[in-house]
Structure 1
Amino acid sequence: MLTYEPDDTLAHRLDPRAKLAVQIGFATTALAHTTIPALAVLSLLTAGILYSTRVHLIRTLVAFRFALAILVIAPLIAALTLGPTWIDWADGQASLQASYRVVLILLVSAAYVRSTPIRHSRAAIQRTIPGKPGQLLGIGIALVFRFLPVIQRDITTIRDAMAARLGTERSALERASTLGIRSLARAFERADRLSLALQARCFAWNPTLPPLAFSRRDWGVLVFALALGLTAVL
């Protein structure tokens, strides 16, 4: 489960705006550079980020297993051609490299989620983007971070219940449709309850957010993020 975990790592002590800058710089660079040497450097950088935030690689990959399944299938589909030789290795390799870049971006985003409280993410967005747009985006980010883990637990509960009722003996299509319908119904129920909870708590557009301040190490991280983003155009 990808959620914030209190800790005393360097990433936990950084300003969330600096960490968001690193996210943007890394994603920009990963999408711009497609060569194998560049992917090797990005892999080492990702490993360093995961180590600095104490993110468990295997548990993170398990949490992203549904996205990873799609990323694994994509190169196989891209390599298939209609006619001899039936397999285009060049297309498959290009798709595989693209999928690998997405995996790196997901791992870096997992490091951000683990090291940043939701309220700090909202504060960073609202203080970077002024006015109502920033407030709306900050609220949306906060709700997504709180809502997704709940939905993920609901999907796991539904799948376990199906397995307990011998649902694994049904066809794959029937299992997928049942899981999808039940999950959507549970998501809508959660959304209705969330709406009532917000009204009951006198939801405010501009609550008191935690104070944010750049330290010397935050400026260093920000410079690193800018340099990382500039590599995309070099």
Structure 2
Amino acid sequence: MTLAYRSQGAFVERLDPRVKLLFQAVFAAVALDKTTPVGLAVLTLVVAGVLVGAATSPLWVLREFKYLFPFLVGGPAFAALTLGPPWVVPGDALAPTLASYRVLLVLCVSAAYVRTTPVRESRAAIQWLVPGRVGQFLGMGVAFVFRFLPVFQADLRAIRDAMAARLGDERPLTDRMELVGAAGLSRAFDRADTFSLALRARCFAWNPTLPRLAVSSADIPAVILTVVLLGWTLV
């Protein structure tokens, strides 16, 4: 399963996309401000509640972002190394580790949003926030990315499976990265050309009829949680 909208009847699906976008922004700001282990522990509980409300497994989120793990783990590992004895200083890796974990928490919230929000609602929320042609351009870009990313992920997965079927997984890591990267870029450009042709064939419009957005009583818990996080940061 790719990182895309999947309706499962979760509670978060009923929320207004503007409320969810506001919560994401506030959560990211709080994560940047609360850098202590205690602060990150509290944010972990918040993320756990978000994932439960979104009917999203944390293991699924980790699988979707597994390609970022080398960067999240490599930073702390590199920070712990020294050019002389004792060669490794574990204490120097504490701050980078907390930073990487903070990024992981933000990614979990973002994944829950993508999993529970239709692309058309995201576009409508952005165009409501930024009126005029600029908002239409931003909304169009977000909609295209949300629709194109799952396809690109599926292409990369198919390329890796094809390599494994041909014993390509026994080749050196650098060769595998080069092959997957080159084939992935080639497939992405082909997809972009096909996508552009499909838009022209369907007479793509800048001002489609988007869903009507409305805040309801279901948004109250999310609004309260957003206000609490914002107040925690300000205090």
* TM-score for both structures, normalised by structure 2: 0.95
Say whether the 8 Å CA contact 1:24–1:229 is kept in structure 2.
Answer: no
Identity level (%):
51
Task: Provide the C-alpha distance between the structure 1 equivalents of 2:165 and 2:97, rounded to a whole number of angstroms.
Answer: 36
Shift of 1:28: 0.7
Q: Which residue of 2 aligns with 1:179?
A: 180
Shift of 1:67: 1.1
Say whether the 8 Å CA contact 2:123–2:143 is kept in structure 1.
Answer: yes
Shift of 1:231: 2.9
Q: Which residue of 2 aligns with 1:41?
A: 42
Q: Which residue of 1 aligns with 2:75?
A: 74
Say whether the 8 Å CA contact 1:16–1:116 is kept in structure 2.
Answer: yes
Comparing 4-13 with 184-193, which one deviates more in the overlay?
Answer: 4-13
SS of residue in 2 equivalent to 1:34: coil
Q: Which residue of 2 aligns with 1:92?
A: 93
Comparing 69-78 with 179-188, which one deviates more in the overlay?
Answer: 69-78
Name the Cα RMSD after superposition. 1.4
Q: Which residue of 1 aligns with 2:211?
A: 210
Shift of 1:227: 3.5
Task: Provide the C-alpha distance between the structure 2 equivalents of 1:203 and 1:54, rounded to a whole number of angstroms.
Answer: 34
Q: In the alignment, residue 80 of structure 2 is paired with which amino acid?
A: A
Task: Provide the C-alpha distance between the structure 1 equivalents of 2:91 and 2:233, rounded to a whole number of angstroms.
Answer: 23
Q: In the alignment, residue 166 of structure 2 is paired with which amino acid?
A: R
Counterpart check, 1:189 vs 2:190:
yes
Task: Provide the C-alpha distance between the structure 1 equivalents of 2:144 and 2:194, rounded to a whole number of angstroms.
Answer: 13
Structure 1's 165 and 220: CA in aligned 2 closer, same or farther, altered over 3 A? closer
CA offsets per residue over residues 211-232 of structure 1, 9 Å max, x none?
A: 0011133255234324323433
Q: In the alignment, residue 92 of structure 1 is paired with which amino acid?
A: A
**Unaligned residue ranges in structure 2 (runs of 5+):** none
Task: Provide the C-alpha distance between the structure 2 equivalents of 1:129 and 1:197, rounded to a whole number of angstroms.
Answer: 27
SS of residue in 1 equivalent to 2:28: helix
**Which runs of structure 2 are paired with 1:16-31 in the superposition (5 Å)?**
16-31=17-32
Comparing 76-85 with 146-155, which one deviates more in the overlay?
Answer: 76-85
Q: Which residue of 2 aligns with 1:124?
A: 125
Say whether the 8 Å CA contact 1:18–1:221 is kept in structure 2.
Answer: yes
Comparing 224-233 with 8-17, which one deviates more in the overlay?
Answer: 224-233
CA offsets per residue over residues 66-101 of structure 1, 9 Å max, x none?
A: 012321222111111212222232321111100001
Shift of 1:126: 0.4
Q: How many residues align?
A: 234
Q: In the alignment, residue 191 of structure 2 is paired with which amino acid?
A: R
Comparing 157-166 with 223-232, which one deviates more in the overlay?
Answer: 223-232
CA offsets per residue over residues 29-79 of structure 1, 9 Å max, x none?
A: 011111011011000110011011110121221111101232122211111
Task: Provide the C-alpha distance between the structure 1 equivalents of 2:188 and 2:232, rounded to a whole number of angstroms.
Answer: 41
Comparing 87-96 with 34-43, which one deviates more in the overlay?
Answer: 87-96
Task: Provide the C-alpha distance between the structure 2 equivalents of 1:84 and 1:231, rounded to a whole number of angstroms.
Answer: 42
Q: Which residue of 1 aligns with 2:10?
A: 9
Say whether the 8 Å CA contact 2:6–2:115 is kept in structure 1.
Answer: yes
Q: In the alignment, residue 85 of structure 1 is paired with which amino acid?
A: P
Q: In the alignment, residue 144 of structure 2 is paired with which amino acid?
A: L
Q: Which residue of 2 aligns with 1:169?
A: 170
